[in-house]
Amino acid sequence: MNETEFKINPIGVVHSAISETSKMPKDGISEAKIEIFEKYLPAMHGLEKFSHIYLMCFFHKSDRSLLRIDPQKVHFRYANCEDAPLGVFSGRSPARPNPIALTVVKIKAIQGREIEVEHCDAVDGTPVVDIKPYNGGIDRFMNLSIPSNAPKKLDMKLRWVERIITNVTGSSDAAAKIIAKIFVDAFDRGYVYTDKNVWLVVSNIPRLIDSALFLADATFSSGRLMVIDEKDFQITFIRGNASLKYRLADARGIDGIIGGKEDKNIEELFEVVETI
What are the tens digits of pLDDT across the range 12-33? Answer: 999 999 988 888 887 788 899 9
Does residue 256 register a pLDDT over 60? Answer: no
Distance between CA atoms of residues 57 and 43, nearest Å: 17
Distance between CA atoms of residues 158 and 215, nearest Å: 12
Q: What is the pLDDT of residue 30?
A: 86
Beta strand 198-203 pairing with 225-228: parallel
| Residue pLDDT, tens place only, 96-135 | 899 999 999 999 999 999 999 998 999 999 999 999 999 8
Q: How far from the centroid of its chain's Cα atoms is residue 33's Cα? A: 21
| Residue pLDDT, tens place only, 160-203 | 788 888 888 877 778 888 888 899 899 889 898 888 889 999 99
Give the start-to-end residue ranges of the domains of the chain. 12-62+99-139, 148-275
| Residue pLDDT, tens place only, 31-83 | 999 999 999 999 999 999 999 999 999 999 888 888 887 776 666 666 666 67
Return the CATH class of domain 148-275: alpha beta
Distance between CA atoms of residues 119 and 27, nearest Å: 6
Does residue 230 register a pLDDT over 80? Answer: no
Beta strand 127-133 pairing with 12-15: antiparallel
Please provide the CATH number assigned to the domain covering 12-62+99-139.
2.40.30.70
